[in-house]
Amino acid sequence: MLDHEYSVVGHNRANVGRCLAILSAALASAFVTLGALWGQLATYLGLSQWTNVLVVPVSAASIYGITHWLFNKWGWTIFFKVVGLPNIAGEWVCDGRTFDDSGNVSFQWQAQVSITQSWEKIRVYLRSAQSSSSSVSAALVSEGGGRWMLMYSYRNTPRAGEVINPHLGYCELSFQHEFNQADGDYFTARGRGTSGRMALTRMQ
């Protein structure tokens, strides 16, 4: 499955988009000004034959496309540090416990979790010895004190030969402010009907 959109409660992407648009317009104006200055300098220096080649009109729309791509790919991580929003992308080791109806541990399991994240999209992919799962929706919510909760729903597919049925699930993970550890609960439905806890540790 591909990465999907996610929400960050309290973060307005529209405001960031407006800031990128203003920046793009300012850069476009700067390019036009610099181009005009270069044309005058080239004429003064007798280099007028180069002006038509080097003075290329740059539109705000094209600059916006470039700045948006750069921000979505890399720039958001710097921005999120400034405003205190989380970057949880990376590889994680997961220790899981499944509970029975009495609240006792019925099964212990381990998995590797891969989280890919950009400004607009995210994906949580878990792979264990029994099955794999991929998120289909997600949201990040501040818990205060630098902690953030990741809430996501997922679709699980068992490996061949496993007795587990394909199922849907929901998970809530609370990340410490260093974003190196997380823990939380998960619930399954539609073919499984279990619950348990997960503890994630970032791989170094």
Sequence-ordered list of residues with C-beta below 8 angstroms from that of 169, at least 6 positions apart, any chain: 133, 153, 154, 155, 156, 186, 187, 188, 189, 192
- Separation between Cα atoms, residue 116 and residue 85, nearest integer Å: 16
The pLDDT confidence band at residue 143, using thresholds 50, 70 and 90, is very high
Residue written as token pair 């010895």? 129
Task: Give the per-residue pLDDT at 21.
Answer: 74
Say if pTM beats, i.e. exceeds, 0.85. Answer: no
Comparing 123 with 164, which gets the higher pLDDT? 123
Query: Tokens 């409660």 label which residue?
Result: 9
Q: Hey, is 96 helix, strand or coil? A: strand
Tell me the HSE value of 177 on the side-chain side, using a 13 A CA sphere: 5
Cα distance between residue 96 and residue 163, in whole Å: 18
What would the pLDDT profile of 77-125 be if each residue is shown by its tens digit? 877 776 667 899 999 999 999 998 888 898 899 999 999 998 889 999 9
pLDDT tens per residue across span 29-82: 776 666 666 666 666 666 655 555 444 556 667 777 788 788 777 777 877 776
Phi, psi of 108, rounded to the nearest 5 degrees: -110, 140
Question: Percentage of residues in the chain with pLDDT exceeding 90?
Answer: 42
More confident residue, 158 or 51: 158
Residue 6 has a pLDDT of: 92
pLDDT at site 60: 65
Residue 14 CA to residue 163 CA, distance in Å, equals 46
193 vs 89, which has greater pLDDT?
89
| Segments of the chain assigned E as strands | 4-5, 7-8, 90-99, 105-117, 121-128, 131-144, 147-158, 167-175, 181-189, 195-202
Is 123 within 8 Å of 105 (Cβ atoms)?
Answer: no
Percent of the residues in the chain that have a pLDDT greater than 70, as a whole number:
79
